[in-house]
């Protein structure tokens, strides 16, 4: 009887108790990390609010990124966050980017399709050439420098940079120095070249508000969640560059254009997505990257200034070819700073709708083409370098096989 009792299977409560004890152990082990991440998020929210109050460009991205950098410096090593944090941020930014485009915007741009596309191509090519120069002169890897100079959609480029093998911190720094220089220089240059005309201020055309009815917030959030989940699957299924961003972006673009109603995108949700991206990027800071960036920043200032001057010339050429007013032409081709350019053209009495259409067309073209183009250029560069490095071992091997034969001939064998 005793033997029979001892051979009975264990009570189901015992494995459950084991699982519960393991969960408690894991919870205790993860408690310091959970506490640290909570502190980082709370601090990032505070700094993000401060930057937003100070009207810092994309403050909800830059503020948390600086918080992450501060934590990494204080602890003396990188502090990566769970990958799900960054993935959520990518989905949010991708969906928000999709909401900025509409069929009406594209239809306005088609009026000047050929010169517009030529100017966009020229601006993008010059920006990539500047990225190439930066990699040669500052010693930064090619992917990081090219992504750092892509004109437009700065937050979106930062989001996808790490998955493309770039240094996300360096890309963020290069992108926002470009935006800052454009915002500081271009409006002032436009006001000097095209003084505001009081007679035309009242005739400035503003993009008409959407006539679509807005969906309830709960239904909008449900649609956004569905687009995000489907976008992640599609991005991985079709092997898109940065699937966490491009998948939701493309799915959201198709859904928002097809829906008969307008989807609400709550501003706090966008801020939260930027916060997660900025914090995830910042906690991976290291001093070796920082030492390289000092020289790169000085070089970039000169390159971006030259790019701005060239873009002024491109805008003037567009004005001459299409008879679009000068203010609209030069502000429509700035390499970034869409919001500031729209505000400036309203002040100067230009065509606000056309400037917005030109800027968004450039941004959409850059988002669709630049990642593939950067990946292709980097791949070709690596292949060329590998081919160069493989020549010397081949010659050495041939010499080593020929040497015994030469020795045997010399010895008369």
Q: How far apart are CA 171 and CA 371, in angstroms?
A: 13
pLDDT at 2 over 90: no
**By percentage, how much of the chain surpasses pLDDT 70?**
75
- Residues in a beta bridge with 214: 262
Per-residue pLDDT tens digits for 100-132: 777 776 777 777 888 888 888 888 888 889 988
pLDDT at 233: 94
Lowest mean pLDDT among 80-84, 137-141, 152-156, 354-358: 152-156
Mean local confidence (pLDDT), 349-356: 77
pLDDT at 173 over 80: yes
pLDDT at 17: 64
- Residue written as token pair 């940079």: 161
SS3 241: coil
pLDDT at 275: 92
**Domain covering 34-374 in this structure, CATH number:** 1.20.1530
Lowest mean pLDDT among 30-44, 306-320, 341-355, 383-397: 383-397
pLDDT at 140 over 60: yes
pLDDT at 398 over 50: no
The residue ranking higher by pLDDT, 272 or 193, is 272
Per-residue pLDDT tens digits for 317-339: 988 888 888 888 888 888 877 76
pLDDT at 95 over 80: yes
pLDDT at 124: 82
pLDDT at 199: 47
SS3 142: helix
pLDDT at 384: 63
| Closest to 63 measured CA to CA, from 42, 87, 88 | 42
Q: What does pLDDT average to over the chain?
A: 77
Taking each helix axis from N to C end, the angle separating 287-322 and 142-149, rounded to the nearest 10 degrees, works out to 40
pLDDT at 146 over 80: yes
Q: Is the dihedral of CA 150, 240, 248, 169 positive or negative?
A: negative
| pTM for the model | 0.66
Q: Is 209 in contact with 104 (CB distance < 8 Å)?
A: no
pLDDT at 235: 86
pLDDT at 273 over 60: yes
pLDDT at 7 over 50: no
pLDDT at 365: 78
pLDDT at 211: 57
SS3 262: strand
SS3 107: helix
| Closest to 223 measured CA to CA, from 231, 235, 233 | 231
**By percentage, how much of the chain surpasses pLDDT 90?**
11
Per-residue pLDDT tens digits for 183-207: 778 877 887 887 655 444 333 333 3
Read off the pLDDT band of 406 (50, 70, 90). very low
The residue ranking higher by pLDDT, 164 or 211, is 164
pLDDT at 300 over 70: yes
pLDDT at 207: 39
Mean local confidence (pLDDT), 298-325: 89
Q: Is 197 in contact with 325 (CB distance < 8 Å)?
A: no
| Closest to 245 measured CA to CA, from 44, 96, 50 | 96
């Amino acid at each position: 009887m005793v033997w029979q009792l001892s051979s009975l299977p264990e009570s189901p409560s015992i494995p459950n108790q084991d699982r519960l004890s393991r969960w408690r152990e894991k919870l205790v082990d993860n408690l310091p990390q959970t506490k640290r991440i909570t502190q980082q998020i709370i601090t990032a929210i505070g700094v993000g609010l401060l930057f937003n109050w100070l009207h810092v460009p994309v403050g909800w991205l830059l503020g948390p990124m600086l918080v992450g950098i501060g934590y990494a410096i204080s602890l003396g090593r990188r502090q990566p966050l769970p990958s799900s944090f960054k993935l959520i941020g990518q989905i949010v930014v991708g969906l928000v980017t999709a909401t900025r485009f509409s069929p009406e915007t594209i239809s306005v741009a088609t009026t000047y399709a050929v010169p517009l596309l030529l100017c966009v191509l020229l601006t993008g090519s010059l920006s990539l050439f500047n990225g190439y120069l930066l990699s040669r002169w500052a010693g930064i890897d090619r992917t990081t420098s090219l992504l750092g100079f892509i004109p437009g959609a700065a937050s979106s480029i930062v989001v996808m940079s790490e998955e493309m093998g770039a240094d996300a911190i360096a890309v963020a720094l290069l992108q926002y120095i470009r935006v800052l220089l454009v915002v500081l220089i271009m409006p002032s240059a436009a006001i000097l070249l095209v003084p505001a005309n009081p007679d035309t201020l009242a005739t400035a055309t503003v993009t008409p508000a959407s006539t679509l009815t807005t969906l309830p917030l709960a239904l909008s959030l449900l649609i956004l969640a569905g687009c995000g989940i489907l976008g992640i699957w599609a991005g991985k299924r079709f092997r898109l560059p940065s699937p966490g961003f491009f998948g939701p972006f493309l799915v959201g673009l198709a859904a928002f254009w097809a829906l008969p109603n307008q989807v609400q995108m709550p501003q706090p949700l966008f801020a939260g997505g930027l916060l997660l991206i900025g914090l995830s990027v910042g906690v991976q800071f290291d001093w070796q990257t920082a030492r390289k960036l000092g020289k790169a920043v000085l070089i970039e200032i000169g390159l971006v200034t030259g790019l701005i001057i060239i873009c002024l010339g491109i805008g003037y050429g567009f004005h001459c070819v299409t008879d679009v007013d000068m203010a609209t032409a030069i502000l429509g081709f700035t390499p970034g700073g869409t919001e500031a350019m729209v505000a400036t053209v309203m002040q100067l009495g230009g065509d606000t709708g056309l400037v917005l259409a030109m800027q968004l067309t450039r941004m959409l073209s850059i988002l669709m083409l630049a990642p593939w183009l950067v990946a292709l250029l980097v791949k070709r560069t690596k292949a060329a370098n590998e081919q160069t490095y493989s020549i010397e071992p081949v010659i050495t091997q041939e010499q080593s096989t020929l040497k015994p034969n030469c020795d045997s001939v010399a010895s008369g064998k």
